[in-house]
């Protein structure tokens, strides 16, 4: 091999080692490798940066904005509740998640599907106290497995089908032809995930639990007159098992209902008293049909969707110390409404307006974002800080967001528009219709995920350009000898190996001519070898860079390189064995 080939191989191996043995961000490792190959002349600027204009990467980016629109309107919570329900165990949650994702990914590109589902799964896991690391890899793997059940399930299937048609060989493949092999592979894969994830998937939690958070608040919420929660039990309304928060009592027309039963039905005007940590108070504010019980919220200027929650610690020089919140006219003085008060873990049973302020009290305020700038250096407060993601959802726009998502999926599934065009139009419509504003749309772009995907294309191009991939593939296939079935097995697993180092489409394009030449030399049909390449290039689970969706869930799931290797390598082997056993039965050699 040439010096450039050896340099490329060493760079890729160094990136893998960095991902496996260090905590350096995957995006930084990938960019460093790409920069080295660019600086040494292995790649031209156009080749190195081609991934940053790749349609798949851009599609993921615009779908982050679509998902943000769903989140900001509360449509995401509605979708999660309808689609995913209330699981009773981790295995139950995985099954509820994987079945619809597998089905949907058979008919739409799995990369944007995972991009849309990631924030839904994150919110769903938080609500039901599930470890997100138990769900993100199953989300990615289910999308990969579902994509292998139809000819349009992944772009790789279409690429290989196009190569077959160019050779005059693909005419006999219909939409569901590969389902004869893809569906058993998917079922075997889902069964493995359900069984093995208990032992092989990490259960990662933050080093400091939410339960250790000293900022515990007592907060009152009012059941609004037209709330969809009216008539529902506490359990059915989802208020029974909120993470790190519990319903202490209900004030119903002056009657206090303590030790509230999950079967108690909600009525309009009920004042619900919750006790919990600040993150859970933020989640509580987003439940449709509940509003802060303090009337001061409704006297603030501006649309409630434009406000944010802010924490402020009262100083000993605050002029309101010693007065109740009502007596001090807090809203008029600071243009902010007090939602809750925290006092060193003490449970405050008075109504918000009757609480007498003391130095050190932590106030949870609903106010304009400018409050932080105005009072950051004020002597009235020791500390002032805004809470991220605390804007009240625009529930009146939720139906708009859901309709836009449905239109996106329909337009892409029926082939009216490309996924990029449909996603871009939906993202722009989200902003134009007021589902989210432009600043939130910009912040919703996950640059780490997008950089990693874009850089992976450049590294794959380097492996292909320098001949590393070709040389390694031919060497590995030479070990298979002259037996057709052994050659088929070799083609499948060599494709899997190369998909771990480059994009699945690049691996398929590289291995297809080798598979075709192998079949012709052995005097057997090319079709089963092409199907092996098609399925193998789309079924790589053992590395994070082996498939775009694996990369996307790596950060949100808190995974390490070893997690994919430990959990995904056996799945690679299992799916591969099912595939190579069934392919010759459906398409004889």
Find the largest Cα–Cα distance for the chain. Answer: 93
What whole-number distance in Å separates Cα of residue 339 and Cα of residue 452? 41
pLDDT tens-digit readout, 69-98: 877 777 666 666 667 777 888 999 999 999
Q: Is the pLDDT of residue 206 over 50?
A: no
What whole-number distance in Å separates Cα of residue 123 and Cα of residue 554? 17
Helix (H, G, I), strand (E, B) or coil at 47: helix
pLDDT tens-digit readout, 371-424: 888 888 888 998 888 776 656 566 677 778 888 878 887 887 677 887 678 888
Is the dihedral angle over the CA atoms 206, 207, 210, 216 positive or is it negative?
Answer: negative
Residues 531/583, Cβ–Cβ less than 8 Å = yes
pTM, full prediction: 0.63
What integer is the mean pLDDT of 300-309?
Answer: 63
3-state helix, strand, coil in the chain (%, to 5): 60, 10, 30
pLDDT tens-digit readout, 316-361: 999 999 998 888 888 888 888 888 888 876 767 777 788 899 998 8
Residues 313/382, Cβ–Cβ less than 8 Å = yes
Residues 134/90, Cβ–Cβ less than 8 Å = yes
What whole-number distance in Å separates Cα of residue 54 and Cα of residue 65? 18
Q: Is the pLDDT of residue 298 over 60?
A: no
Give me 370's structure tokens.
Answer: 């400018």
pLDDT of residue 536: 93
Q: Is the pLDDT of residue 172 over 80?
A: no
What's the pLDDT band for 514 if we cut at 50, 70, 90?
Answer: confident
What whole-number distance in Å separates Cα of residue 160 and Cα of residue 146? 17
Higher pLDDT, 413 or 444: 444
pLDDT of residue 207: 41
Higher pLDDT, 199 or 156: 199
HSE, CB side, 13 Å, CA atoms: give it for residue 456.
32
pLDDT tens-digit readout, 29-44: 888 988 999 999 888 8
Q: Is the pLDDT of residue 212 over 50?
A: no
Q: Is the pLDDT of residue 501 over 80?
A: no
What's the pLDDT band for 183 if we cut at 50, 70, 90?
Answer: very high
**Least confident stretch, 83-87, 108-112, 548-552:** 108-112
Helix (H, G, I), strand (E, B) or coil at 391: coil
Residues 533/156, Cβ–Cβ less than 8 Å = no
pLDDT of residue 144: 93
pLDDT of residue 208: 39
Q: Is the pLDDT of residue 161 over 70?
A: yes
Give me 76's structure tokens.
Answer: 């995401």
What integer is the mean pLDDT of 278-284?
Answer: 76
Q: Is the pLDDT of residue 47 over 80?
A: yes
pLDDT of residue 166: 67
Closest CA to 534 of 482, 483, 570, 586: 586
pLDDT of residue 300: 56
What's the pLDDT band for 20 if we cut at 50, 70, 90?
Answer: low
What integer is the mean pLDDT of 96-120?
Answer: 81
Share of the chain above pLDDT 90, in %: 14
What integer is the mean pLDDT of 207-221?
Answer: 59
pLDDT of residue 81: 65
What whole-number distance in Å separates Cα of residue 418 and Cα of residue 58? 12
Q: Please tell me which of 179-188, 207-216, 360-369 the model is most confident about, judged by mean pLDDT.
A: 179-188
Higher pLDDT, 26 or 323: 323
Question: Topology of 210-386 in CATH?
Answer: Alpha-Beta Plaits (3.30.70)
Give me 204's structure tokens.
Answer: 């990662």
pLDDT of residue 145: 94
Domain boundaries, the chain: 6-204+448-586, 210-386
What integer is the mean pLDDT of 219-240?
Answer: 84
Give me 512's structure tokens.
Answer: 């297809």
What integer is the mean pLDDT of 258-264?
Answer: 81
Higher pLDDT, 276 or 534: 534
Q: Is the pLDDT of residue 181 over 90?
A: yes
Share of the chain above pLDDT 70, in %: 87
pLDDT of residue 417: 81
Specify the DSSP class assigned to residue 328: T
């Amino acid at each position: 091999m040439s010096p450039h080939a050896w340099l490329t191989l060493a760079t890729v191996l160094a990136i893998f080692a960095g991902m496996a043995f260090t905590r350096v961000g995957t995006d930084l490792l990938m960019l460093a490798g790409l920069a080295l190959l660019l600086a040494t002349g292995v790649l031209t600027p156009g080749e190195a940066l081609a991934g940053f204009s790749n349609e798949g990467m851009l599609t993921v980016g615009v779908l982050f904005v679509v998902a943000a629109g769903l989140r900001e309107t509360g449509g995401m919570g509605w979708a999660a509740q309808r689609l995913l329900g209330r699981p009773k165990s981790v295995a139950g949650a995985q099954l509820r998640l994987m079945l619809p994702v597998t089905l949907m990914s058979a008919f739409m590109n799995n990369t944007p599907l995972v991009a849309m589902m990631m924030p839904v799964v994150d919110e769903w896991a938080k609500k039901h106290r599930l470890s997100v690391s138990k769900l993100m890899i199953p989300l990615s793997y289910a999308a990969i497995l579902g994509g292998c059940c139809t000819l349009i399930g992944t772009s790789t299937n279409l690429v290989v089908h196009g190569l077959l048609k160019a050779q005059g060989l693909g005419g006999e493949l219909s939409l569901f032809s590969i389902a004869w092999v893809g569906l058993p592979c998917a079922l075997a894969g889902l069964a493995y995930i359900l069984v093995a994830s208990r032992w092989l998937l990490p259960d990662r939690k933050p080093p400091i639990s939410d339960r250790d958070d000293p900022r515990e608040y007592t907060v009152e919420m009012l059941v609004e007159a037209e709330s969809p929660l009216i008539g529902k039990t506490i359990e059915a309304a989802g208020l029974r098992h909120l993470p790190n928060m519990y319903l202490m009592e209900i004030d119903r027309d002056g009657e206090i209902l303590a030790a509230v039963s999950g079967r108690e039905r909600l009525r309009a005007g009920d004042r619900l008293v919750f006790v919990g940590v600040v993150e859970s108070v933020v989640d509580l504010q987003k439940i449709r049909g509940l509003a802060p019980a303090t009337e001061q919220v409704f006297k603030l200027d501006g649309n409630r969707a434009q406000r944010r929650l802010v924490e402020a610690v009262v100083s000993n020089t605050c002029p309101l110390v010693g007065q109740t919140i009502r007596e001090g006219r807090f809203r008029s003085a600071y243009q902010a409404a007090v939602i809750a008060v925290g006092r060193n873990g003490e449970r405050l049973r008075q109504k918000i307006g009757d609480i007498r302020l003391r130095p050190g009290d932590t106030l949870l305020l609903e106010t304009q974002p400018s409050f932080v700038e105005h009072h950051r250096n004020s002597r009235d407060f020791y500390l002032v800080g805004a809470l991220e993601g605390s804007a009240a959802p625009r529930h009146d726009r939720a139906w708009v967001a859901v309709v836009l998502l449905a239109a996106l999926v329909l337009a892409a599934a029926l082939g009216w528009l490309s996924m990029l065009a449909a996603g871009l139009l939906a993202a722009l419509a989200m902003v134009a219709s007021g589902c989210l504003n432009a600043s939130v749309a910009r912040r919703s772009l996950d640059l780490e995920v997008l950089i990693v995907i874009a850089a992976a294309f450049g590294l794959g191009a380097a492996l292909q350009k320098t001949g590393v991939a070709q040389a390694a593939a031919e060497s590995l296939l030479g070990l298979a000898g002259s037996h057709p079935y052994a050659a088929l097995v070799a083609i499948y697993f060599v494709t899997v190996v190369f998909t771990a180092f480059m994009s699945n489409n690049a691996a398929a394009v590289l291995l297809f001519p080798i598979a075709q030449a192998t079949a012709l030399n052995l005097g057997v049909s090319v079709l089963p070898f092409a199907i092996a390449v098609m399925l193998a290039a789309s079924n790589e689970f053992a590395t994070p860079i082996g498939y775009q969706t694996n990369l996307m869930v790596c950060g949100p799931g808190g995974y390490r390189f070893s997690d994919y290797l430990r959990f995904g390598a056996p799945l690679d082997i299992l799916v591969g064995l099912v595939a190579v056993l069934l392919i010759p039965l459906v398409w004889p050699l």
